[in-house]
Structure formats: structure tokens, C-alpha cells
Structure 1
Amino acid sequence: MIRGLYTSAWSMLANDRKMDVITNNLANVNTAGYKKDTVVFESFPDLLTKRINDTKNSSNIGSMELSSDVGEIFTYFTQGQLNQTNNMLDLAIDDNGGANTSSPAFFTVGVVDPSDNSNLKEYYTKDGSFVLNSDNQLVTKDGNYVLGQSGPITLEPGQFSIDDMGNIVQDGAVVDTLRITQFSDPAMLRKFGDNMLENTGSETSDFTGSVLQGFSEGSNVNVISEMVDMITVMRAYEANQKVLQSHDSLLEKAVNEVGVVR
């Protein structure tokens, strides 16, 4: 009976965590370049049950399982819809028509290291809705530097163009080339914040996609699918809640009524 309380309560916690992930996906449905997350459940390992305080026999008496838990938060790197904006500061990466999800490519962003203002730490993003700062440098909406092969990209006032390989052309000359980073193992990427990712060990590969100027990649969140998952999680949570209430009622009867001498 006590085991049932733990099983139901832990399942409620796991479903609550999944609901948080679904809510975050829905909140970012209009965030450019956002990649949806999903919860992967895993079973608790079997617990070997032993006899205790039994001097005659200390053998095992069986095993038991205690429901499931959140194993990991998995990110889908499928390509979102490419929307034409005709804004020269909006860029998108076309991963071979969205077919290349096993080794996606990202814009490389430099974030100032708080411990050393002269050092930039590299992060990666699919959000190519860039702007120009007061120094005419290409930056993200949060003010982080968009990196080229020579570091932060500084432009001259006026029009510029970017070809499909990321070469930035201004006044007929190549100013710099976008630093596009393609990863061979996207499972090693972790969300950092501000719609950016950090690499925790994936090797890089040659860029095989193309850069599109005047386009923005939307999120890959499917609203209908997320709403269906939300309803499923709510029903699972309610079912475990009712089981927990039943166990609580049985325990109350066991404590207050069983063994009462009348």
C-alpha cells in the first residue's frame, strides 16, 4: 500500500515535469528558430527486496518497481518553416530542404565572458533575425555578436548581400564569411538560454546546407500535437491522483478501523 503511494506520487511529479516542457514549447511557437523539446520517461531500476531482522533467513524475497521517472529532455532538430521577410538582416539556414536532421548547421554567436570581457564564448543558434548595433556590428536581438571567420562582423553603412555559402558582400568586395557550424551529433547540444545552444562534445563537419538572406526560420512546434500531448498528460495526472487518494483512504481505514475492539 505504501509502495502504491510512492508510485502514484512519483508518476504525478513526472507528468508535471512533462507538462512544463509542453507549456514551454507552446510559449515558443512563434519564436524564430526554436526547437521543440520532449520528455523521455525511463523506468526506475528494479529494487531487490531482502529480508531484514531475520537471523534465520537473509535471502531475497523478490523485486519491485517504483513507476517511471524523467530520463532526459530530448530536443528535435527538424527544420522549421522558412518564411520570406525580404529583410536583408534576416538570415536562415536551409539544411538541404530540412532533410538533414542528423547533422544540423547553426549560426555561431559570441557571448562576452563575464569573467573576462575580452573573451567571447561560442554558442549556436538557428534564430537568424539579426540587427545592427551602434558600432554597425551584426548582433542578435539580445546584443550577442554574430561571428564570421574573422570574429565579430562589422559592416559599412549601406546595403549588403549574403550568398548561399555565407559570404558577406558589400561594395563588390567580400567583407567576411559567416561562421556556420555543422554538428555530426546534435544529441550533444544543450540549450543554454536566449534561444542558443552550447556544444558538450559533438564533432563538427563541413557545412553542406545553404544560407538564405531575407528569410527567417520558424519554430518546429506543432500546436495541435502539443495540445493533444497536454490533454494526455492531464488525464494521466488525474488518474494517478485518484489512485493516490484511494490508497490514502485505505490507509485511513487501516489505521482507524482495522483491529478496533467492539
Structure 2
Amino acid sequence: MIRRLSPAGLLGLLILAFWVAMAVFGAAVAPHAAGRIVDMEVFLPVSADYPLGTDYLGRDMLSRVLHGTRYTVGVALGAALIASGSGLMLGMCAAVWGGMVDGAISRALDTLISIPSKMFALVVVAAFGSSVPVLILMAGIIYTPGAYRIARSLAVSVNAQDFVTVARARGEGTLYLVRAEILPNIIGPVLADFGLRFVYIVLLLAGMSFLGLGVQPPNADWGSLVRENMAGLHEAAPAVLMPAFAIASLTIGVNLAIDVLGGGRREGDGH
């Protein structure tokens, strides 16, 4: 499969793999503790001692970025799994059962999708705080309707195919139809949509953190790192540029990898 990847797709997978590895092992390989002040000088430039400079308190930015990766990637990944998983299950149920079930699910999620995402996020954070579980659940709920629409449209299309009609005529149950006939034929596009949900959630959470409503001190994600080092923007300090570059590189890497995640499966591979 690697030989068939385009250079852009391979680059995207490498970037994505790097940041996932940093989310898991970043805290262990970071040269300093996240909150340790390593120098009395603030906003130091890139150097051999501090590869990404220092922040507004004199902390090592490389360590801060590596420690923050687990919150940016981890929270977004958890929320994307909730959104795509819920959307996939509800979409297949609506497609297979149809009728009142389809109508009830669709109208309920249409109501949710009509609420602007940032407004919904602000209300949830104001009501329940901005703990990591709340952020994960909030972002997952916001992006479930979009994932549902994609999954439902794909499942409805496959459900109308002849091989599904034949399976239903020979007496196969709903669980079999979903597991063996519909899911294998929509998994590629669903994975591609999962990548898009992940990017949307990264950007939403970064925006929330930039407003001070995301991950709270002493922890910090990349959006928080940009916000707290804004004083160094006028002198182009690495402390404010590097977290922004990390966000950009992750989103670009995921977008480049989406074609790979969406490939490798063929539509209509039914019996």
C-alpha cells in the first residue's frame, strides 16, 4: 500500500503519525517539565539549549508544546470518535429501519445542527466548566449531526443495492445487513469524514482555548500556548509562532492523509 501512496498522502501520514506519537510519548521525551522555568529571560529565540525558544515566563517551549500535544490530539481524537461513532450507528439505523425511526433521528439531529457550534460550546462551558471530559463530550455532540448525515446518505445508497435486497430476501437479519453488507461498503468514506471531523474539532478547541475557555492551567493545549504568549507577537517570538505552526501542521497532515484513509475500500463490494 505504501508504494501506491502519493507523495502528499505519504507526507500526511508521516505528519499524523508523528503527532500521534508525541501525544503518547511527548511528556516522556520532553527535555523539561511543562511548568519548569528554565531561564530568567523570556521570549528567547531558537537556540541549541531551547530549540523552540522560551515563553513569557521563561519556560522551555519545546517541552510546553510536547506536553500540550496530548491535550490537543487526545481531546480532539476522543471527540471525533464520539461524533463519528455515534453518527455512523445512528445513520445506519436510520437507513435500515427507515420510516418513523429515520424521521425521528433526522429531525432531532437537525434541531441540534441548527445551533451555531461556537454558541453551543460557550453555553456548555458556561454551564459545566471546561474540564477535559466536558470538552470531549461537547465537541463530540456538536459534530455528531454532520457525521450522521454523511453516514446516513452512504448507508441509504448501499441499502438500495441489489445485493442488500437479495440478503434481505434470503432472510438475513438487520444486524447481518449492517455488519456484512452496509458497513464494509461505506467504511472508506466514513474514515475520510472522520479525518475531517478531527480537523474541525482541533480548530474548534484551539479557538476555545485561545478565548481562555478550553484546557485550563496548569495544563495547556496548543491554543492556550498561543494565547498566553501573545505578548511576544510583535517581536515574532517562537513562543507564539511554534504552537500555531503545530496546529497548522497537524491540520494539513490530516487533510493530506484523508485521501489515504478514504481509499483502500471499494464502493459496492457486496455479495
TM-score normalised according to structure 1 size: 0.28
Q: TM-score, normalised by structure 2?
A: 0.27
Relative to its length, the structure with more helix (as a share) is 2
Higher gyration radius (CA): 1
Q: Which has the higher strand share?
A: 1
